[in-house]
Structure 1
């Protein structure tokens, strides 16, 4: 069994080819030259961070399928400064257009020591921002972004730091390493 931990840069598709017509977009093929591995879950084009790839279909399903409730931790730079009421709402779960979310772990954190994003997040002197650490056990489309927006704090930058026991520790953007041992 192969399990790859990849630090997906901003603007890279979570697939090995781009079927869209128009200017080509970077894909996983530009970074990972390993046959027969496939992403276990997805990260949006405008999100960064940990993506797991494996050749084991059962492991892929266990990581990606919401039934297994694998915890995923994100670092989210949000617009404004959420108060305790906003954080409590995230912790209880918020109602989105597709229904209520499960409760999330949510806390404000100091600015993390991350790599610079290319392109950088737009800075506005008149609008403060801060960082949150959010752990969810679902994987709905753009879920973290929709949750922070629902409590009045749109996400400016989103980095997935952890999936289950696997983290980005020591993996630079665009780099990957093979996990040691099994799941």
Structure 2
């Protein structure tokens, strides 16, 4: 019988370091560079999803609108924030990320960064984001329906009562 070792934290750390160490360096036209993760950590994706949901909640609270193109732009900026070496400290709101996207795109940094990502990792990240958006949309639709129902009850209190048939 072979000598099988028990799983240990040090073994897990070693595997983790190996799995997520690969990076690709992108050098831009102005001599600056960025390191891009080749494998996306699921825990980091969860952090990204959490931040995206907070940004959505902010948009709702401020009663702002966000279209599909803006949501995609913000999602890409969050992917860049979480899976590259770019330091992004000033972006706190949905509109900050829209501004970031425009600056990155206008100055020809966006395509080289996006093209440097491993396509399957980028797709997994976008799928995760789309799942979050889908769940968020369903939750918002449910809340809207509840609000409409409560308003209709306030406007027509008798509509909410079940009347007995005689």
TM-score by length of 1: 0.22
- Whose Rg is larger? 2
**Structure with the larger strand share:** 1
**Structure with the larger helix share:** 2
TM-score by length of 2: 0.24
Q: Relative contact order: is structure 1 or structure 2 higher (C-alpha 8 Å, sep ≥ 6)?
A: 1
